[in-house]
Amino acid sequence: MASGCRAAAQPDIAVPPLKSLAPYRVGTCAMTGQLDDAGWTRLALTHFNQITPEWEMKMEYILTPDGYRFDAPDRIASWCDSHGMALHGTTLIWYSQGEEAFRGLSRADYGQRFDRYIAAVAGRYAGRVRGWDVVNEAVAEDGVGLRSHHWSQNLGDIDHMRRAFDQAKQADPDAVLFLNDYNLENNPRKGATFLKLVEQLLKAGAPVGGIGSQSHLNIEIPEGRISAFIHEAAQFGLPLHISELDASRRREGGPPDVRSVSFRSRQQFDRVKELTDAYSRLPEQQRYGLTLWGVRDTDSWLRRPPHDDGRDSPLAFDASGQPTTVARALSESWLRSQ
Ligand code: XIL
């Protein structure tokens, strides 16, 4: 707690604490190594009031050949408790994880292991997490239909998701249970398929309690798409979580990007502000929170291989902890919406 008080008193931060401006939770992601980094903790405690473990609450970390490994997620959860930070869990079922650990099982064992994993993980953090990303990235990359993977092949397209939501509900009845995905704003077809899936799951009786949009934005997204998606998604009346916000200034692939720094900066400001404005206009009970996918640019997954160009500035603070264009877009949006 002492370090939290010191953090708030630091004079060198040029924007007010982000969490003091937003009328809802402002989250970031964390890995255990960062909890020992004074620069990271100072910014995290000053500006954020919710944590999503970046990697160490995922199946790839927790599930080992010998059972479950909870040391790292437990440490993040305790850190949250002792610093008054809310905790958001991610992710129980993700197409990209678990294939090896579940390989070779009979259909019955596969289903049992699936249920046991969710019961163990969601049960362990019951009462401590506000919510869970129960199913992550279910929609196909091109937005046409759903992904096919080992979970869907063994337990059925819709059925494996319904089962995951049911298990999570049993294990933690009070957590908000999210279907979470990305490129929902950038790709309207994917956004539409995702919202259709929410509808299908609800019709099938799955206890979907929230809609998570990762919002890994970029400066190519045409004006109006982000707010259009948020508006559409809000029609279910469920809480929405902006779950992994960052805003790349890069264009992946193609010819050299000759656009000026000031142009890219303006585009980035406008897209982040569009998102934040649209999110802040939702009814209060639908604003679960807005989570940035990291604290400093250098903490971002976009600044690691294979994405890293050594320059991208997708987050709210630069390497030395100074606020970036993203921080200015967020604060301007929140100050104007007050
Ligand atoms: C990424 C993390 O940032 C990495 O540290 C980890 O190795 C893999 O996952 N979509 C998601 C997130 O749902 O969980 C991903 O996070 C980023 C893309």
What is the tens place of the pLDDT at every residue in 29-82? Answer: 999 999 999 999 999 999 999 999 999 999 999 999 999 999 999 999 999 999
Kindly give the distance from the C-alpha atom of residue 55 to the centroid of ligand 1, in angstroms, as a whole number. Answer: 7
- What is the rounded distance in angstroms from the CA atom of residue 285 to the CA atom of residue 50? 17
Residue 38 is predicted with a pLDDT of: 98
Domain at 69, CATH number: 3.20.20.80
Which residues, in sequence order, are CB contacts of 123 under 8 Å at separation 6+? Answer: 171, 172
Atom of ligand 1 nearest to the CA of 29: 3
When divided into structural domains, the chain yields a total of: 1
Domain boundaries, position 63: 2-337
Rounded to the nearest angstrom, the distance between the alpha carbon of 221 and the centre of ligand 1 is 21
- Alpha-carbon Rg of the chain, whole angstroms? 19
Ligand 1 pocket, CB under 6 A: 54-55, 136-137, 182, 214, 244, 301
CA of 145 to the centre of ligand 1 (A): 22
Q: pLDDT band for 253, please (50, 70, 90 cuts).
A: confident
The closest-lying atom of ligand 1 relative to the alpha carbon of residue 90 is 14
Q: How much distance in Å is there from the Cα of 82 to the middle of ligand 1? A: 25
pTM: 0.95
Pocket test for ligand 1, best of 55, 76, 184 (most atoms within 8 A of CB): 55
